[in-house]
Structure formats: C-alpha cells, structure tokens
Amino acid sequence: MQKIVIDPITRIEGHLKIEATVDGGEVKDAKCVGTLFRGFEIFMKDRDPRDAVHITQRICGVCPTSHGTTAALNLDAAFGVADKIPNNGRILRNLIQGANYIASHIVHFYHLAALDYVDVTEVADYDGTDPELLKVKDFISRALAAGDMSMLAPFYPRYEGDYRLPKKVAQAAVAHYVEALNMRRLAHELSAIYSGRMPHSVAVVAGGVTSHPSIDSISSFMSKLNTLRHFIDNVYLPDVIAVAETYPDYFGIGVGCGNLLSYGVFDLEANGTNLATRQRLFTQGTVSASDLTLHTFDPNKITEDIKYGWFKGETNEYPLNEVTEPDHTKAEGYSWLKAPRYENTPYEVGPLARMVVNYVAGDPVVQKMVNDTLAHFGAGPAALFSTLGRHAARALECKIVADEMVKWVMELKIGEPVCADYEIPESAEGMGLWEAPRGALGHWIKIENHKISNYQCVVPTTWNCSPKDGQGVYGPVEQALIGTKVRDNDNPFELVRIVRSFDPCLACAVHLVSPTGNEISRFRVY
C-alpha cells in the first residue's frame, strides 16, 4: 500500500489536505483534512446581534453574500419579522444573491476546475488573431523557450498526463479562461448595484435591504445581466459539454455518498418563519440515489458529530446547542471540520443536490434541462452522481438563476418599502437556512441580554468535506475518493478532479484565530 498526500489542494478556497491510501492502483481509504481552526463562533459572542450580518460575511470573500443573507434570515426569525419582509426587500436579496451565484459558478469552472482538463501549452501553437490569446501564447512561449515552467503561474505547477481536449478546443478554452475573468468582474458589478459593494455587502440587513430600486439601477442591472446571460449560454454551457464529451468516463467517477440535501434558496414569497416549507425557486428536501424520491426536510434532524474533529464537547448535538471548543491534542481527531449529519447520515450539498431535488420534485424547467443533457450523453439519472454530474448541474443552475433574475428585476416596485422595522429582543433564538453556491448553509443564534450568547454556522464544505463520524461512516468527499482508480501515484489527476468538482470552500468551513497576532506559519501556495 502507498499513501498519496496532497497538501494543500490548490485552486480551491482555503486550505485542504487529502490523504489517500492506494493499493493495486485503487483508493482503499481516504481522509479529508481541514488544516486551520474554525473560530468565528467564539468571537461572535457578546456582540450586537445586528453585527452578525457583517461579521459572518468576512468568513469568505467568495461567498460573503450567502453568509450575509443567511445571517439576515437568522435575525429575521429572532427579531420576529420573518413574515414582514417587503416584496422589494425579498426580491433585492434574491438579485444580490443571484449575482453572486453567477460569479461563483463562472470562477469555479474556469479558474479553479478547468485547468484539470485543459492543457494550456497547446496555446503555444496558436495561429489565430485573438489578441488576448496571442498574449497568452507569448507568455507560454517564453516560458517554454526558457525551459522554466515556474514562469507559468497560475497555470503551473500542475499534474502531467491526462489531457485529452483537441488542440483547437483547448485553445478556445484558454481564451474563455481570460474572458471569464471579465465576466466575474461584471457579475461583481451586477451585485454591487444593489448590495453597495462586492465582496461584503452593506445593503443586506435584518428585515430586508437598505438599497432602493430606481429606473437607472434597473436599466443598468438588466444591461449587465444580459451580457452575462450571453456568456453563460454561448460560452460556459458549451465548454462544459465539450469537457464532458471528451472525458465521459468521469460520469462514473467520484460518485460520493449518494445522499443529497437542499435547504432551498431564492424566496418566491415571505410566508413566516418556517424555512423548511417557504416557497423557493430551488426547493427544500432530500433525495437518495437508491430511490430518487423526494423526502421532506426537517431542520431539527441536523446534528454535528465531532468524534474525529479536533473539538471538545458532546457529539451529535443540534447546532443551536453546540459549544465550539478546540482540542488539537485529541488523539483520534484528524480535521478542523466537524461532521454534519442529517438523520445521522452524511449528505452531499451543492448545485447537484439542488438540481436533483428540484428534478425529483417535478420542476418542469429543471426536468427539461436535465433530461436534454442526459439524452445528449445517452446517460441515465445515475450519471448525475459523479464528477461531471456536479459540473453539469452547476452550469445548468447558473443559466436557470440568470434567466429567473430577468423576471425578478421586473417585479421591483419603485418607491415601495425595502425593509421592515424591528426591535432587538432581550432574549430570542433564530435560525437561517439558505444555499450558498456551494450548498446548504445554516446559521443559528441565541440572544440573551440583547447580545449574542451563541452563534453557530454549518456551512456547505463542512457537509461535503467532513471527516468520519462516530459510527465510522466517511464524509461525502471521502466516499467519492474511495474506490477511485489512480493510474499514476505521482500525478493523481483523478483525485484532484473529484475534490474540485465539489468546489470546496475551506475558508467557510475552517478559520484561524490568533488573538495575540503572532505569526503561526508561512505558506507558499501555487
């Protein structure tokens, strides 16, 4: 047996280590290791509850919008205004979050995952006239002539071997990599029209938002959104299809735990504090590969196991009752991630979960898109539970969200309220359930003496990259790795492709706190 250790996994958000034990070219055991301590829950204590919207956005610069909105939903419940959010406030929250979805999905495919499939050195033979691609050609040619591949960051270092895209397709993909940088910037500008800035919105608050729609802002929003929709329809979706056509074996690689969970996202109405039944664009529920049947979601069945996490305390606690206390000396621990479980079972969260839950729920738009995609590849629903299934779900979702945003922006009413009034209660509890681009995101709060007495976040990557639980059951990414065939232990393409298909965000799942400000370590990350 041999152990492959990839530390850190690059081209993700945050610090993640993967350990895979390989025997006979197959992964027999895997560990998903969060390498930094998560501590936001600790310094949230004794703060003004309204600070939660702003502080939790600093958990991550990629998905701050999701944390801000989830924190606002959490406070809506605690402040007793969850059923009083004005329509403008609800719609503007959706538009701000939708822009973040577009930015996140584009950056994930092009700037984080695509380099696993695209050989950028093919651009050295480019004979066209695209000015941006000619710049990349010159950049690559100089590095190749010097024999110094370190000059090619961020394209290098990389694993060698399994690049299959035809030369012309690879060259086009590199051009789209550059174009996607501008699309990401445009999506941030789209968000900032109503969020005030990106990252770290200042507009999303308890009760709704602080920004107001106007004729000029609606016009600007539509213009930028339509440019992004054109890119999604004519570049992003075709590129995902091109990769899938060239790597069809990845429809059977990286299956995972086979259980999917969605909290639902994008409120279509504000109808009280029950976030498990509120009408949303992407609905709530769970689905398992074994039966493809929609099951009702009950948030009271969420727990976190800390058997193999570096934490003290009771295991299998409901988030609101948890106490976050680190213990790096714990002998059996191997990660700074806890192990979220639903009905004591690991669940994968993210675009795949949202799309499959809506597919099984009978959403006609999702069903048509998914059926057309599966028919194109001559595949059945089982192919969705895979590395390529996650990429396809993310791209299709991006289109659905962008198209729905056109409808939402036209529902805004100029001059109508955007936020409900509230008072901070002396004591209260709240829960916010939402979906970050990467999956199910939950915030829980306890308020005592008008201040936060406990605040807990259970984030998407904590679900997906969790360690084993007390029953010895592996987390979703660990299960996706186990059983994988690895052709070359020195170039484990297969492993990083699987991990990146989940779009891990370790910045959300783990955090480092040094109250004295001391330097802990230095990293040079490629």
DSSP 198: S
- Asked whether 384 and 393 are in contact (CB, 8 A), the reply is yes
Amino acid identity at 249: D
Q: Please count the helices (runs of H) and the strands (runs of E) in the chain.
A: 15, 14
Q: Burial of 487 by CB count in 10 Å (0-12 exposed, 13-18 middle, 19+ buried)?
A: exposed
- Asked whether 16 and 504 are in contact (CB, 8 A), the reply is yes
Looking at the DSSP assignment, which residues form a beta bridge with residue 302?
Answer: 342
The number of angstroms, rounded, from the C-alpha of 45 to the middle of its chain's C-alpha atoms is 26
Nearest to 201 by CA among 57, 409, 95: 57
- Asked whether 5 and 18 are in contact (CB, 8 A), the reply is yes
Phi, psi (degrees; rounded to nearest 5) at 105: -65, -40
Amino acid identity at 415: G
| CA distance to 72, 280, 399, 506, per residue, from 462 (Å) | 21, 23, 26, 8
- Binding site for Mg(2+), by residue number, is 41, 511
| CA distance to 166, 243, 395, 491, 521, per residue, from 170 (Å) | 6, 10, 19, 20, 38
Nearest to 445 by CA among 91, 206, 266, 272: 206
Tell me whether the omega of the peptide bond preceding residue 238 falls within 30 degrees of 0, making it cis.
no
- Asked whether 114 and 395 are in contact (CB, 8 A), the reply is no
Helix (H) or strand (E) holding 446, with range, is: strand 439-448
- Binding site for Ni(2+), by residue number, is 60, 63, 505
Nearest to 18 by CA among 333, 477, 336: 477
Q: What is the gyration radius of the CA atoms in the chain, in angstroms?
A: 22
- Binding site for Fe cation, by residue number, is 63, 508
Q: Which residues of 121-131 are buried (b: 16+ CB within 10 A; e: fewer)?
A: bbbbebeeebe
Using DSSP's 3-state secondary structure scheme, residue 266 falls into: strand
Taking residue 350's Cβ as centre, other Cβ atoms within 10 Å add up to 28
CA distance 6 to 26: 16
- Binding site, by residue number, is 41, 60, 63, 505, 508, 511
Summarize the chain as % helix, strand, coil (round to 5).
45, 15, 40
